[in-house]
Chain A
Amino acid sequence: MQDWISLPLVGFPLISSLLLLVFVSNVSESMRNKLSDPIRMACLVFSLILLGITTGMFFQYFGDVSWEGIGFNQYEYSHRYTWIESLGIHWTVGLDALSFPMVWLTTFLLPVTIVATWNEKNGATYFPIVLAMGGALIGVFVALDLFMFYVFWELTLIPMFFLILMWGGADRKYASQKFFIYTFTASVVMLLGLVTLYFFQDPGNPLDYAGSMTGRSFDIPTITQHALAENSNGNWYLGANIQKVLFAMLMLGFLVKLPAVPFHTWLPDAHVQAPTGGSMLLAGVMLKMGAYGMFRLPISLFPHALEYFQLALMIIGMVSLVWGAIVCLGQTNLKKMVAYSSVSHMGVILIGIATMQPMGWAAALFMMFAHGIISPMLFAVCGAFKHHYHSMEIGAMRGMAKHSPWIATSMMFAWMASLGLPLLAGFVAEVMMLIALWYFIEANGWSVFWMVGPAIVLAVTAAYYLWSMQRTIFEGGDETQPPASLHGEPVPDLASPEKLAMLILAAFTILFGVMPWIGLDMMHDWTKQIFEGLILPILGDFNGGI
Chain B
Amino acid sequence: MASTDVTTTIQSEWLDFAPLIILLPMVAFAVILFLGRVFNGNPFWKNTLKEGGLIALPVMGASLVLSLLLISEFLGGFNPLKVFDPAVADKIAWVNSAVWNGGSTVTPVSFGFGIYVDHVTVMLLFVAAFLCLLINTFSIGYMNTDPINDNRNHRFYAEFVLFCSGMLGMVLSDSFLWLFIFWEIMGLCSYLLIGFYYERPSAASAAKKAFMTTRIGDVFLMIGLVMLWDLFGSLDYAVVFDTHNIEEVAKHSAGTLQWALGLMFIGAVGKSAQFPLHVWLPDAMEGPTPVSALIHAATMVNAGLYLVARMFPFFGAEALQGDLEDLAFIIAAVGGITAVMAAAIAFVQMDLKKVLAYSTMSQLAYIFTGLGCAMYLANTLDWHHDDDAHYIVVVAFGAALFHLFNHAMAKGMLFMASGSVIHEVHHAHHHLHHHDDHGDGHGDDHHDDDFDAQSMENMGGLASKMPITATAMLVGSASIMGLPLIGGFWSKEGIIANAWRVAQDDPRFFLPATCVLLGAAMTGFYMSRMWFKTFAGKPNNEIAAHVGPTNTWIKTPLFILTFVTLSSVIFAGLGFTHWASDNSYELGEKGLLKGLVYELEHAFANSDAFFFILTYVAIFLGAVVGPGLAMALYGGKLAEGEETKPWMRPVIQLSAWVNKRFHFDNSAFAESTLATALENRLYIDEYYDKAMVNIVAGFSNKAAEADSEVIDGTIKAIESGSQSLSSVVRSMTTGSARDYILMVAVGTLAIFMLIWGVA
Contact B212 A462 (CB under 8 A): yes
User: What A residues does B715 contact at CB under 8 A?
Assistant: 182, 265
Q: How far is the CB of A111 from chain B (nearest CB, A)?
A: 24
A77 at the interface (CB under 8 A from B): no
Contact B188 A421 (CB under 8 A): yes
A254 at the interface (CB under 8 A from B): no
A467 CA / B205 CA spacing, docked (Å): 9
Interface pick from B221-229, B298-306, B509-517: B221-229
Known: A326-B699, A459-B215. A474 touches B203 (CB 8 A): yes
A245 at the interface (CB under 8 A from B): yes
Contact A358 B211 (CB under 8 A): no
Q: Looking at the complex, which one of A262, A431, A459, A476 makes contact with B711 (CB distance below 8 Å)?
A: A262
Known: A182-B715, A517-B93. A422 touches B181 (CB 8 A): yes
User: What A residues does B208 contact at CB under 8 A?
Assistant: 466-467, 469-470
A402 CA / B442 CA spacing, docked (Å): 14
A474 CA / B94 CA spacing, docked (Å): 35
A532 at the interface (CB under 8 A from B): yes
A328 CA / B201 CA spacing, docked (Å): 23
Q: Which of B157-195 contact A (CB under 8 A)?
A: 177, 180-182, 184-185, 188, 195
Contact B226 A330 (CB under 8 A): no
A1 at the interface (CB under 8 A from B): no
User: What B residues does A19 contact at CB under 8 A?
Assistant: none
A422 CA / B181 CA spacing, docked (Å): 5
Q: How far is the CB of A285 from chain B (nearest CB, A)?
A: 24
Known: A473-B198, A474-B195. A466 touches B211 (CB 8 A): yes
Contact A358 B99 (CB under 8 A): yes
Interface pick from B102-110, B124-132, B356-364, B593-601: B102-110
A423 at the interface (CB under 8 A from B): yes
Known: A421-B184, A439-B230, A467-B208. A329 touches B696 (CB 8 A): yes
Contact A428 B702 (CB under 8 A): no
Contact A524 B699 (CB under 8 A): no
User: What A residues does B98 contact at CB under 8 A?
Assistant: 358-359, 362, 524, 527-528, 531
A300 at the interface (CB under 8 A from B): no
User: What B residues does A168 contact at CB under 8 A?
Assistant: none
Q: How far is the CB of B9 from chain A (nearest CB, A)?
A: 23
Known: A326-B699, A327-B704, A517-B95. A455 touches B219 (CB 8 A): yes
Q: How far is the CB of A67 from chain B (nearest CB, A)?
A: 14
Contact A476 B95 (CB under 8 A): no
A517 CA / B703 CA spacing, docked (Å): 38
Q: Which of B702-754 contact A (CB under 8 A)?
A: 702-705, 707-708, 711-712, 714-715, 719
A48 at the interface (CB under 8 A from B): no
User: What B residues does A504 contact at CB under 8 A?
Assistant: none
Q: How far is the CB of B610 from chain A (nearest CB, A)?
A: 44
Contact B199 A476 (CB under 8 A): yes
A196 CA / B759 CA spacing, docked (Å): 12
B207 at the interface (CB under 8 A from A): yes
Contact B199 A399 (CB under 8 A): yes
Contact A265 B711 (CB under 8 A): yes
B670 at the interface (CB under 8 A from A): no
Q: How far is the CB of A488 from chain B (nearest CB, A)?
A: 21
B97 at the interface (CB under 8 A from A): yes
Binding site secondary structure of chain A: helix
A513 CA / B174 CA spacing, docked (Å): 19
A261 at the interface (CB under 8 A from B): yes
B669 at the interface (CB under 8 A from A): no
Contact B755 A242 (CB under 8 A): yes
Contact B93 A463 (CB under 8 A): no
User: What B residues does A329 contact at CB under 8 A?
Assistant: 696-697, 700, 703-704
The number of inter-chain residue pairs (CB within 8 angstroms) is 187
User: What A residues does B200 contact at CB under 8 A?
Assistant: 475
Q: How far is the CB of B233 from chain A (nearest CB, A)?
A: 10
Contact B207 A474 (CB under 8 A): yes
Q: Looking at the complex, which one of A427, A439, A475 makes contact with B198 (CB distance below 8 Å)?
A: A475
A204 at the interface (CB under 8 A from B): no
Q: Which of B51-105 contact A (CB under 8 A)?
A: 93-105
B758 at the interface (CB under 8 A from A): yes
Contact B100 A358 (CB under 8 A): yes
Q: How far is the CB of B170 from chain A (nearest CB, A)?
A: 11
Write out, one digit per residue, whether chain A residues 472-485 have a CB within 8 A of any chain B CB (1) or not (0): 01111110100000
User: What B residues does A181 contact at CB under 8 A?
Assistant: 719
Contact B95 A242 (CB under 8 A): no
Q: How far is the CB of A121 from chain B (nearest CB, A)?
A: 30
Contact B755 A196 (CB under 8 A): yes
Q: How far is the CB of A499 from chain B (nearest CB, A)?
A: 11
Contact B712 A265 (CB under 8 A): yes
Q: How far is the CB of B142 from chain A (nearest CB, A)?
A: 21
Closest B residue to A358 using CB positions = B98
User: What B residues does A399 contact at CB under 8 A?
Assistant: 198-199
Q: Which of B430-471 contact A (CB under 8 A)?
A: 443
Contact A423 B181 (CB under 8 A): yes
Is the interface on chain B under 10, 10 to 19, 20 to 34, or 35 or more residues? 35 or more
A373 at the interface (CB under 8 A from B): no
Contact B758 A462 (CB under 8 A): no
Q: Looking at the complex, which one of B101, B103, B712 makes contact with A442 (CB distance below 8 Å)?
A: B101
Known: A359-B98, A439-B230, A517-B93. A434 touches B222 (CB 8 A): yes
Contact B100 A517 (CB under 8 A): no
Contact A327 B707 (CB under 8 A): yes
Q: How far is the CB of B23 from chain A (nearest CB, A)?
A: 11
Q: Which of A505-528 contact B (CB under 8 A)?
A: 516-517, 520-521, 524, 527-528
- Residue of B105, B185, B199, B697 most packed against chain A (CB within 10 A): B199
Contact A520 B100 (CB under 8 A): no
A158 at the interface (CB under 8 A from B): no
A520 CA / B95 CA spacing, docked (Å): 7
Q: How far is the CB of A362 from chain B (nearest CB, A)?
A: 5
Contact B700 A326 (CB under 8 A): yes
Closest B residue to A262 using CB positions = B711
User: What A residues does B697 contact at CB under 8 A?
Assistant: 329-330
A402 CA / B152 CA spacing, docked (Å): 10
User: What B residues does A438 contact at CB under 8 A?
Assistant: 226-227, 229-230
A427 CA / B102 CA spacing, docked (Å): 27
Contact B199 A362 (CB under 8 A): no
B625 at the interface (CB under 8 A from A): no
A264 CA / B711 CA spacing, docked (Å): 9
Contact B759 A241 (CB under 8 A): yes
Contact B198 A532 (CB under 8 A): no
Known: A265-B707, A470-B208. A359 touches B195 (CB 8 A): no
User: What A residues does B758 contact at CB under 8 A?
Assistant: 241-242, 245
B674 at the interface (CB under 8 A from A): no
A421 CA / B95 CA spacing, docked (Å): 16
B613 at the interface (CB under 8 A from A): no
B701 at the interface (CB under 8 A from A): yes
A323 at the interface (CB under 8 A from B): yes
Q: How far is the CB of A44 from chain B (nearest CB, A)?
A: 26
B592 at the interface (CB under 8 A from A): no
Closest B residue to A536 using CB positions = B104
Contact A545 B104 (CB under 8 A): yes
For the complex of A and B, list the 6 residue pairs with the smallest distance between their C-beta atoms, beginning with the closest: A330-B704, A477-B199, A474-B204, A329-B700, A422-B181, A265-B712
> Can you list 15 residue pairs at the A/B interface with Cβ under 8 Å?
A262-B711, A329-B696, A329-B697, A330-B700, A330-B705, A358-B97, A358-B98, A362-B97, A416-B188, A439-B101, A458-B219, A477-B198, A527-B97, A531-B100, A532-B106
Interface residues of A (CB under 8 A from B): 181-182, 196, 239, 241-242, 245, 261-262, 264-265, 323, 326-331, 356-359, 362-363, 399, 401-402, 416, 421-423, 427-428, 431-432, 434-436, 438-439, 442-443, 451, 455, 458-460, 462-463, 466-467, 469-470, 473-478, 480, 516-517, 520-521, 524, 527-528, 531-532, 535-536, 539-540, 543, 545-546
Given contacts A357-B99, A401-B198, A475-B201, 17 further A-B pairs with CB under 8 A are: A245-B755, A327-B707, A330-B700, A330-B703, A330-B705, A362-B97, A432-B97, A459-B215, A466-B208, A470-B204, A470-B205, A475-B199, A517-B96, A532-B106, A543-B102, A545-B104, A546-B103
